[in-house]
A and B are shown apart, each in its own frame.
Chain A
Amino acid sequence: MHTRKHILVIGGGVAGMESAIHLCDMGYEVTLIEKQDQLGGHVLKWDFLFPDHRPAYEITNELCPAVEEKATIKLQTEVKNIVRQNGHFEVALSDGEKLTADALLVATGFDLFDAHKKEEYGYGIYDNVITAAELEERFQNKIPIRTAAGKKPARVGFVHCVGSRDEKVGNEYCSKVCCVTAVKQAMRVRESLPGCEVFCFYMDLRMFGRYFEDLYREAQEKWGVQFIRGRLSEAAEDIDQRIIVKLEDTLAGRPLRMAVDLLVLLTGFVPSEGTRRMATMLNLPLGNDRFIKPSDEHLRRNLTPVPGVFVTGASAGPRSISESISDARAAALEIAAWFNNSSQHAI
C-alpha cells in the first residue's frame, strides 16, 4: 500500500470531482480547487441531458456532496504559480496559501466558443440570435421561449458547428456534443411550442453515442424537426427583427433563404482559459486543436510528458459528460499506477 500522497486536482467540473472522489477512495489525500464559487462546472448551466433527458442536477447532486465529504475543497481559488522541487510540486494559490502536492491533475476543461467571432451570424448584434447555452438557461429557469420582442416564435433555427470544424475561425476539430445537443433542444422547443417549425442546419450529423441515433429519429418522426444539410453563409435581420438565413441545401442542391424568428447557435468547445494557462505554466504539449496532448492517445490518455502531471476531461479535447466521467476514473487509476511504480517517482 502506498504512503499517503497528496494530489491537487485543478478544476471542479464533473471530471475533476469524479477523479477526486476515486482518488480519495483509494486512500490519497486530495485537494480540489475551483475558480468559481460553486462546484459543478458547465453542467450547472444545463437543464437536462442527452440522450435520456434526465435532469442535469442529478449529476451534480451526486458528485458534489461526495467530493465535499472526501476531499479538501477550495472554491474561488486558482493556481498562481507552480515550482517542481525535490520530487514535489510547490503550488502557490490565488488566496495566498501554498501547498505541496505529489501529483497534479489538470481538469480545467473547456470554454464555449465565443459566438461573436462568427461575425456573419450576427450574435451580439441581432436581437434574436442566441447560443444553445442561453437557450438551455431559459429551459433551466422555466423561461418561455420567446423572441426579443416577447412573441412566440413561429420558426426556430439551430445552427450546428458554430466554431467547430471551421478553418476560418481556426478550429478544425469536431466538438462532438453539439449535434446531439441541437437535436435534444430542437425536440424540447417543439414540445414547448407545438405550432413552431424547427429546423436544424447541419454539415454532418455525428450521432456517435449510444441512443443518439434514436434521439435523431425521434426528433424527426415524433416531433417533426426538419434537418437541412448545409452550412449557413450569413444571417441578417429584417425589418420585423426576424433573422434571414442563407445557406446551400446540399441535399436539394440549391441555395436556400429562410426567415426564422429565433436562431440558436450551437457553439463548440475551445480550451478553457484555465487549460491554456495550466498548459503554459506546466509546459504541457498541445494538440493541433490547442487542447492538452496526452503522452499516448491510446494507451496513456491521462498521462502527460511532464512527470507527476495528469490530465482529464475536456482539458484534453471535447468530451461528453459520460465520457468525462469514465475518463476521470481512468485518470485516478493512472495516478495510482504512477505512484505504485517507484521507478517513475522522481520528478
Chain B
Amino acid sequence: MKIEGKRALWREYQKAIADDHYFYVRSCVRQTFFPGAEKAFIEIMKNRLGKDLYEEPIHTTCTGIAYHSDIVPLETTMTVVARQFALMTENGYENLAVSCVTSFGVYSEVLETWHHFPETEEKTREMLWKATRREFKKPANVAHASDILYKFRDQIAAQAVYPLINRHTGQPLRVVEHIGCHYAKMFPHKGVGGAEYPYVLVGMIESWGGEVVDYPERRHCCGFGFRQYLIQANRGYTFSNTKKKFDSMAPYKPDMIITNCPGCPMFLDRGQYAIAELEGITYGENGYGIPVFTFEEVAGLVLGFDPWDLGLQFHQVAVEPLLDKMGIPYDPAMKYAGSGGKFIGSPELPEVLKC
C-alpha cells in the first residue's frame, strides 16, 4: 500500500464545506437506530465548536427510502426536497447540513437533475407552490454532517480527552472506516476524497490518533442495499454481504468500525448478532463483536462525552471492550438508566455473541 498514492488522489477530491450557519436536516431512522448520534452532533456543533445550527421541527423525510424502493416517483421526491429548501429559505439559511447519507445523495441528485434539466426545477417550483404556497432558494452549500465534522476534525482533536489510542499498548487503534454508498458513489466529486478511497472518515481517524485499516471488501455495501433488506425474502443477501465484509476485515483485527450512514452501523452492528446466530461466528476478541459507531458517537467519545449519554447502550455489539482500550470511564450500573436515572430495562443477551 502506497499511502502517497492515496494522498495524491485525495487532493483531486476536495469540496467546499460551509464554515457556519447550518440548516440541519435529520434522518428518518437514525434516532431509532442510534438515538444519541444526532444529539451529539448538535451538541458538538453548538457548544464545542460554537457554530450556528438550526433545526426546523416541521421538516420531513426526504423520501429517500421510499424513492430508492420505487414507492414514490422522482417528481414527488423533488417536491418534498423543495419544501425542505423552502423551510431553509424561510429561516434565513443557505447552508444545508444533512444528517443522512441517503438524504445527502437525494439532495445532490435533485440539484444535479435541476441543473441539467432546468424544466424539472420549474415544474417542481410550480408543484410546491400549488401544494404549499411556498417558494425556495437552492442551497449555497450542501454538506453531509460527516463533511462538517471532517472540516473541524482538528479543532475536535485539540479538545480531545480520549484519542483513538490503545491506552494499554500506546498504539493507535485499528479502525475500519465504512462509507455509506449514497455518500460519493453517485457523485464522486461531492464526497471528500471521492468514491473509491473516501477520505472523510479517514481524516477524522488520522486526526484523532487512530490507524486506518484498508481491507479488500472496504468498498462493499454493508448489506442493507434497500431492496435486499426492505424485501423480507431478500434478507439473506443482506447478511451474506455483511458477512463478506467481516470475513474480509477479520484478518486485520480491527478494534472498531466507524460509519457515516444511517443503515451501515445498523447492519454492521446488528448483523454481527445475526451472523453469530446463523453461523456461530464472532469477529471481535474473546467472543465479542467488533464495536460499530457513527462518526458523531466517536467524536463524542473523543471529546469525553459519557458513553451512555451517547446512546451506546443501544448498540448490539458491546462497546465496553473498546471503552476499556481507550481508557474511557463508564458506570455499568448506569448503562440502562434513563434520563431520570430510572431503570429502562436491559435486553436479553444472545447465546453466541458475547455482550
A127 and B2 contact, Cβ closer than 8 Å, known pairs A119-B196, A236-B217: yes
- Is B9 in contact with A237, judged by CB distance below 8 angstroms? no
Scoring B residues 206 to 232 as 1 if CB is less than 8 Å from chain A, else 0, what string do you get? 000000001111110000000000000
A38 → chain B, closest Cβ, in Å?
29
Q: Cα distance A16–B273 when bound, in Å? A: 67
- Is A238 in contact with B216, judged by CB distance below 8 angstroms? yes
- Is A125 in contact with B2, judged by CB distance below 8 angstroms? yes
A125 and B6 contact, Cβ closer than 8 Å, known pairs A119-B196, A237-B1, A239-B252: yes
A234 and B219 contact, Cβ closer than 8 Å, known pairs A116-B8, A119-B196: yes
- Is B1 in contact with A127, judged by CB distance below 8 angstroms? yes
B236 → chain A, closest Cβ, in Å?
16
Q: Cα distance A123–B9 when bound, in Å? A: 11
- B136 beta carbon closer than 8 Å to chain A: no
Please name the residue on chain A nearest to B218 by beta carbon.
A236
Report which of B2, B5, B6, B251 forms a contact with A239, defined as CB distance below 8 A.
B251
- B197 beta carbon closer than 8 Å to chain A: yes
Residues of A within 8 A of B217 (CB): 236
- Is B219 in contact with A119, judged by CB distance below 8 angstroms? no
Residues of A within 8 A of B252 (CB): 239
Residues of B within 8 A of A116 (CB): 5, 8-9
B183 → chain A, closest Cβ, in Å?
15
Q: Cα distance A201–B342 when bound, in Å? A: 62
- Is A120 in contact with B1, judged by CB distance below 8 angstroms? no
- A124 beta carbon closer than 8 Å to chain B: yes
Q: Cα distance A241–B2 when bound, in Å? A: 11
Q: Which parts of A206-249 form the interface with B (CB within 8 Å)?
A: 234, 236-239, 241, 244
- Is B2 in contact with A237, judged by CB distance below 8 angstroms? no
- A126 beta carbon closer than 8 Å to chain B: yes
Scoring A residues 242 to 269 as 1 if CB is less than 8 Å from chain B, else 0, what string do you get? 0010000000000000000000000000
A126 → chain B, closest Cβ, in Å?
7
- Is B216 in contact with A236, judged by CB distance below 8 angstroms? yes
Scoring B residues 262 to 290 as 1 if CB is less than 8 Å from chain A, else 0, what string do you get? 00000000000000000000000000000
Residues of A within 8 A of B215 (CB): 236, 238-239
A244 and B8 contact, Cβ closer than 8 Å, known pairs A127-B1, A239-B252: no
- B64 beta carbon closer than 8 Å to chain A: no
Q: Cα distance A116–B2 when bound, in Å? A: 13
Residues of B within 8 A of A241 (CB): 1
- Is B216 in contact with A120, judged by CB distance below 8 angstroms? no
- Is B1 in contact with A119, judged by CB distance below 8 angstroms? no
- B194 beta carbon closer than 8 Å to chain A: yes
- Is A126 in contact with B8, judged by CB distance below 8 angstroms? no
- Is A237 in contact with B214, judged by CB distance below 8 angstroms? yes
Q: Cα distance A123–B219 when bound, in Å? A: 16
Report which of B2, B9, B216, B218 forms a contact with A119, defined as CB distance below 8 A.
B9
Instruction: Tell me what chain B mostly uses at the interface: helix, strand, loop, or mixed.
Output: loop
Report which of A125, A234, A244 forms a contact with B1, defined as CB distance below 8 A.
A125
- Is B216 in contact with A125, judged by CB distance below 8 angstroms? no
A125 and B5 contact, Cβ closer than 8 Å, known pairs A237-B214, A239-B251, A239-B252: yes
Q: Cα distance A120–B216 when bound, in Å? A: 12
Residues of A within 8 A of B214 (CB): 236-237
Residues of B within 8 A of A120 (CB): 196
Identify which of B215, B216, B252 gathers the most chain A CB atoms within 10 Å of its CB: B216
Residues of B within 8 A of A123 (CB): 5
- Is A119 in contact with B8, judged by CB distance below 8 angstroms? no
A67 → chain B, closest Cβ, in Å?
38
Q: Which parts of A104-149 form the interface with B (CB within 8 Å)?
A: 116, 119-120, 123-127
Residues of B within 8 A of A125 (CB): 1-2, 5-6, 9, 197
- Is A124 in contact with B216, judged by CB distance below 8 angstroms? no
- Is A237 in contact with B216, judged by CB distance below 8 angstroms? yes
A159 → chain B, closest Cβ, in Å?
16
- Is A236 in contact with B251, judged by CB distance below 8 angstroms? no
Q: Cα distance A237–B6 when bound, in Å? A: 13
Q: Cα distance A116–B197 when bound, in Å? A: 12
Q: Cα distance A126–B8 when bound, in Å? A: 13
B243 → chain A, closest Cβ, in Å?
14
Residues of A within 8 A of B196 (CB): 119-120, 234
Q: Cα distance A127–B4 when bound, in Å? A: 12
Q: Which parts of A37-76 form the interface with B (CB within 8 Å)?
A: none
Q: Cα distance A241–B217 when bound, in Å? A: 14
Q: Cα distance A239–B215 when bound, in Å? A: 7
- Is A124 in contact with B197, judged by CB distance below 8 angstroms? no
Residues of A within 8 A of B8 (CB): 116, 124
Residues of B within 8 A of A244 (CB): 216
Q: Cα distance A72–B215 when bound, in Å? A: 56
Q: Cα distance A234–B8 when bound, in Å? A: 19
Q: Cα distance A24–B74 when bound, in Å? A: 66
Residues of A within 8 A of B251 (CB): 238-239
B8 → chain A, closest Cβ, in Å?
7
Add 13 more A-B contacts to A119-B197, A125-B197, A236-B219 (CB < 8 A).
A116-B5, A120-B196, A123-B5, A124-B2, A124-B5, A124-B8, A125-B1, A126-B1, A126-B2, A236-B217, A238-B251, A239-B215, A239-B252
Pairs across A and B, CB under 8 Å, 26 listed: A116-B5, A116-B8, A116-B9, A119-B194, A119-B195, A120-B196, A124-B2, A124-B9, A125-B2, A125-B6, A125-B197, A126-B1, A127-B1, A127-B2, A234-B196, A234-B219, A236-B214, A236-B216, A237-B1, A237-B216, A238-B215, A238-B216, A238-B251, A239-B252, A241-B1, A244-B216
5 smallest A-B Cβ distances: which pairs?
A: A124-B5, A125-B5, A119-B196, A236-B216, A244-B216
